[in-house]
Amino acid sequence: MSLATAMELETRIDLPLCTREPMLKLLNQQLADTFDLFSQVKQAHWNVKGMKFMSLHLLFDKLAANLLRYADDIAERATALGGLAQGTARMAAENSNIEELPFEMTDGKAFVVAMADRFATYGASSRAAINQAEDVNDAVTADLFTEITREVNKSLYFLESHLQG
Ligand SMILES: [Fe+2]
């Protein structure tokens, strides 16, 4: 299934179709990436091994909980705009731009590097989403992605701090 562009539902919201259609496509793209990254951080939470097990186990769980919150906010913005959220794991897998994790990964540092790479990619697309929302005068969607980008930048800092010093 590709990303839907047609608005599926009627709404009384005060935004024209020419704003809502590109925002629905953008929101479903970011939803796919968010849900995919959520599952990858859980994969890290479950499979990480080594002397830093507990701190990484807890960090990955915290980052996953944050991503699930973003997914909910992004999906509900799509529905608030009169669209349908494409929110199942299979929909996310089909549409995600995030690189898949190697199945055999267990090393803590390898997981931190992999997560830092992916949070950097996700933060970049989230920042680009701010500009795309501003381009069609949807300040509310821009604000949502501004908040998410700020938090994702902080998550990246938490991850990269393990690789520095
Ligand atoms: Fe757990």
Which string of b and e fits 37-61 if b means at least 16 CB within 10 Å? bbbbbbbbbebbeeeeeeebbebbe
Can you give the pLDDT of all 165 residues of the chain as single tens digits?
A: 466 555 666 899 999 999 999 999 999 999 999 999 999 999 999 999 999 999 999 999 999 999 999 999 999 999 999 999 999 999 999 999 999 999 999 999 999 999 999 999 999 999 999 999 999 999 999 999 999 999 999 999 999 999 998
130: containing domain: 17-163
Instruction: Please count the structural domains in the chain.
Output: 1
Q: What is the pTM of this model?
A: 0.95
- Asked whether residue 69 is domain-assigned, the answer is yes
- Asked whether residue 5 is domain-assigned, the answer is no
- Report angle CA 144, 14, 27 to the nearest 5 degrees: 35
Question: Residue 43 Cα, ligand 1 centroid: separation in angstroms?
Answer: 10
- Asked whether residue 2 is domain-assigned, the answer is no
Question: Residue 60 Cα, ligand 1 centroid: separation in angstroms?
Answer: 9
- Asked whether residue 4 is domain-assigned, the answer is no
CATH of the domain at 86: 1.20.1260.10
